[in-house]
Amino acid sequence: MGWLGPQEWQAVALSLRVSFWATLLSLPLGIFTAYALARWRFPGKAVLNGLVHLPLILPPVVTGYLLLLAFGTRGPVGAFLQDFGVVFAFRWTGAALAAAVMGFPLLVRAIRLSIESVDQGLEQAAATLGASRPWVFVTVTLPLILPGILAGAVLAFAKAMGEFGATITFVSNIPGQTQTLPSAIYAFLQSPDGEGAAMRLVVVSIVIAMGALVLSEWLARRIARRVGGA
């Protein structure tokens, strides 16, 4: 731990934790939403598509403020969840929620494009053989879109690692509790002797991001070869 100080390690560990849970918990909803947008026709589809992509358009600070209004201890959702012991505001769980919201559009878009590239004739052929729609999705669609799911997950993870505006607005910048990598870099840059620590965290951020991209490419190729050879 000689290269990074205790506060720097805390920021790295917290960012990895936040990004992991933000991505993992977003996946089921992201797959469902992407499938609905790609395959279903229903009233309000354009509205849903707009809501999904809204975090990409709004300033991150606005998204964080809206999360604070809704999930804060005085917000309608936050007050309700607090009765069950679930608190988001000024907790690492809130940072994970903010990161998930900001990365969700990238996750959905990647998976939706993957679903739209699947030949619907394959799905229809499985359906004519008596397979139900969920079974068709599990046995036909899901294996074919795994590279897209992986790409979306990596994009969401990378976005979560780099999220700053929504996170700092929603959960503040508390060392050891809500201070993620971007927040720590910002905090170190505000102190006269913090430039060295900030630069070290910048290097760590680049290494983690590049590592995630290389790993995703490798896994995507392996999955594509297995699916193609199946």
Give kind and range of the element (H or E) at residue 63: helix 60-71
- In tens, the pLDDT along 60-96 reads 999 999 999 999 988 999 889 988 888 898 899 999 9
Q: Residue 73 has what pLDDT?
A: 86
DSSP code, position 54: H
Nearest-angstrom CA–CA distance, 99 and 60: 10
Name residues whose C-beta falls within 8 Å of residue 70's C-beta, 6 or more positions apart in sequence.
Answer: 76, 77, 78
Cα Rg of the chain, angstroms:
20
What's the pLDDT band for 1 if we cut at 50, 70, 90?
very low
- In tens, the pLDDT along 111-166 reads 999 999 888 888 888 888 887 888 888 888 898 898 889 889 998 998 999 999 99
Instruction: Name all domains of the chain by residue range, CATH numbers in brackets.
Output: 6-229 (1.10.3720.10)
Q: Which of 127, 151, 152, 153 is nearest to 139 (CA)?
A: 127
Q: Judge whether 157 and 16 are in contact, CB under 8 Å.
A: no
Beta carbons within 10 angstroms of residue 68's beta carbon:
23
Whole-model pTM: value is 0.88
- Is the model's pLDDT at 224 over the cut of 90? no
Q: Residue 38 has what pLDDT?
A: 92
DSSP code, position 139: I
Mean pLDDT, the chain, rounded, equals 89
Q: What's the first-to-final CA gap in the chain, in angstroms?
A: 45
Beta carbons within 10 angstroms of residue 100's beta carbon:
26
DSSP code, position 75: S
